[in-house]
């Protein structure tokens, strides 16, 4: 019997604790302390930051707390984030068939893994995934708030927002599918300047206006793709948290911005009529 390959945790002990008990305790404390700016219905999609937990974990926790009601519903997570370490043309899927964290192993959705390979802009390559943190840091949160689920991990490189939108449409599914976009906001500005920049970026997100650039958000491409299709699927964005590393664990001379946004389905009776 040939064992499917597993991508081991690459940033455990750096971005988050490597001890499973310490990790679980830290996540549970962040979830318990989450104070979102508004209470929202169960989201279809969330945007979450991906820095070390001491910096962005509390902000991410506001989004993950909002999906706790989906524990028994979500069985597939479509996870998109930027490739920080390797050049990716289009989209990169791992060859590995599972991702490991200190909390256990998450299997890939093999059906979707095979389906996506029919797209010319999708490559299968373990190298961009090997040391990438943007997807990995989301997994312990997902493992804590959800029961068993299958993963569709997509690293986004030199792709267009339209291509991201097409991939999301292909994978959209129903209530069993959660879409997670991993992105930080501005990088290394002074505290007050960063707050102004990030507030403007979030306002653009809340208006469902694509065109965000990589100075505004490192995950701009997958984020723009979500913004392109959110309206088509009747989703409304809600800001849950907006802070930066100067608010959590860093100094205020050069900060990184973080936001959590929930995209929730608008009740059909509340949607505007299409003419």
Q: Is CATH 3.40.830.10 the classification given to domain 15-33+41-156+174-266?
A: yes
Kindly report the number of other CB atoms within 10 A of residue 137's CB atom: 27
- The per-residue pLDDT for 87 is 86
- Split at pLDDT 50, 70, 90, the class of 4 is low
**130-149 mean pLDDT:** 97
Domain spans in the chain, listed from the N-terminal domain onward: 15-33+41-156+174-266
What is the residue-averaged pLDDT of the chain? 95
pLDDT band at 268, cuts 50/70/90? Answer: low
* Res 275 pLDDT > 60: no
Contact 71, 147 (CB under 8 A): yes
Asked if 106 and 178 touch (Cβ cutoff 8 Å), the reply is no
pLDDT of residue 61: 98
Name the pTM for this structure: 0.95
pLDDT (0 to 100) of residue 8: 97
Q: What are phi and psi of 126, to 5 degrees?
A: -70, -25
Q: Which residues pair with 47 in a beta bridge?
A: 181, 261
**Average pLDDT of 17-44?**
97
């Amino acid at each position: 019997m040939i064992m499917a390959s597993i991508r081991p945790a690459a940033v455990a002990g750096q971005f988050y604790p490597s001890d499973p008990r310490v990790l679980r305790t830290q996540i549970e404390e962040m979830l318990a302390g989450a104070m979102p700016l508004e209470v929202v219905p169960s989201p279809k999609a969330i945007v979450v930051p991906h820095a070390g937990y001491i910096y962005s974990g509390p902000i991410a926790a506001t989004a993950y707390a909002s999906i706790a009601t989906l524990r028994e519903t979500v069985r597939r997570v479509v996870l998109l984030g930027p490739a920080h370490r390797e050049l990716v043309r289009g989209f990169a899927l791992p060859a590995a068939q599972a991702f490991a964290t200190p909390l256990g192993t998450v299997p890939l959705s093999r059906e979707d893994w095979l389906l996506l390979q029919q797209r010319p802009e999708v490559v299968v390559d373990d190298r961009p995934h090997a040391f990438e943190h943007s997807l990995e840091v989301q997994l312990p949160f997902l493992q804590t708030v959800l029961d068993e689920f299958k993963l569709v991990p997509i690293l986004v490189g030199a792709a267009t927002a339209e291509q991201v939108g097409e991939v999301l449409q292909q994978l959209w599914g129903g209530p069993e599918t959660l879409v997670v976009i991993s992105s930080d906001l501005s990088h290394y500005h002074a505290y007050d300047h960063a707050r102004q920049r990030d507030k403007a970026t979030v306002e653009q997100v809340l208006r469902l206006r694509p065109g965000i650039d990589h100075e505004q958000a490192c995950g701009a491409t997958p984020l723009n793709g979500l913004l392109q299709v959110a309206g088509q699927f009747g989703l409304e964005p809600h800001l849950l948290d907006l802070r930066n590393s100067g608010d959590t664990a860093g100094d205020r001379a050069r900060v990184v911005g973080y936001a959590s946004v929930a995209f929730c389905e608008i009740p059909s009776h509340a949607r505007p009529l299409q003419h």
